[in-house]
Each structure stands twice: as structure tokens, then as C-alpha cells.
């Protein structure tokens, strides 16, 4: 129930921000590190400090797939419908994330 309420609150905040003169701030709200805080707490409590630091560094590299998603979406919204643009951008993120994990695994072991 709490998770659903938090999710609904975020959606309402995004919708409210999208209607203001500072609508672009709606792009910042989803980047609040909610899940990162949870992940870092769990890893930090259950694993070594080195494992936590590795998780943090991987998180830094994970910005690349998100950037690829945004860049793809920026280009595609001029070329196709919004829904199709979002789908293409999501696939671009998935491909970039897969490549990132593959490269990470290859060079970390």
C-alpha cells in the first residue's frame, strides 16, 4: 500500500509540475535516487565496503544508458509519434544497458 501511494504521489507531482511554467523540472523528479538509496543501503548492510563502492561506480556508469535514452527520444520526437518515440528510446536504453553490463562483467572479472 505504501509503495503504491508513493508511486501515485510521484505521478501527481509530475503532472502538477508539467502544468507549471517550470514544466521542465518534471524531468528531474524521476531522477531522485529512491531506488539507489534502497540498493545502496541493502548492499552496504549485507556486503563489504568494497562491494558497495563497486555498486556506486557501476551506478555512475549507468548514466550512459539513460543519456542514450534521452538523446534517442530527443531525436525521435521530431520523426514519429510520441508513443513510438518512447518505445524506440526505451529499446535504445535496453541495448545500451545490455552493452554496459556485458562490458562491466568482462572487465571486472
Q: pLDDT digit of tens for each residue in the chain (109 aa)?
A: 887 888 898 899 999 999 999 999 988 888 888 889 999 999 999 999 999 999 999 999 999 999 999 999 999 999 999 999 999 999 999 999 999 999 999 998 6
Count structural domains, the chain: 2
- 81: containing domain: 36-108
- Let me know whether 19 and 46 are in one domain: no
DSSP 8-state secondary structure symbol assigned to residue 80 = S
- Let me know whether 19 and 70 are in one domain: no
- Could you give the CA distance from residue 49 to residue 29 in angstroms, rounded to a whole number? 29
- At residue 108, the pLDDT reads 86
**Which of 87, 57, 54, 92 minimizes the C-alpha distance to 71?**
92
Q: Where are the alpha helices (DSSP H) in the chain?
A: 2-18, 34-46, 49-61, 63-76, 82-108
- Let me know whether 5 and 52 are in one domain: no
- At residue 109, the pLDDT reads 63
Whole-structure pTM value: 0.83
Residue 77 C-beta-side C-alpha neighbours within 13 Å: 7
Amino acid at each position: 500500500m505504501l509503495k503504491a501511494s508513493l508511486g501515485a504521489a510521484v505521478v501527481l507531482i509530475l503532472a502538477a509540475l508539467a502544468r507549471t511554467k517550470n514544466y521542465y523540472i518534471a524531468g528531474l523528479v524521476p531522477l531522485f535516487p529512491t531506488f539507489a538509496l534502497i540498493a545502496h543501503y541493502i548492499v552496504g548492510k549485507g556486503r563489504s565496503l568494497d562491494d558497495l563502492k563497486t555498486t556506486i561506480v557501476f551506478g555512475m556508469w549507468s548514466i550512459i544508458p539513460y543519456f542514450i535514452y534521452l538523446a534517442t527520444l530527443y531525436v525521435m520526437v521530431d520523426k514519429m509519434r510520441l508513443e513510438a518515440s518512447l518505445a524506440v528510446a526505451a529499446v535504445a536504453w535496453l541495448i545500451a544497458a545490455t552493452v554496459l553490463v556485458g562490458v562491466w562483467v568482462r572487465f571486472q572479472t
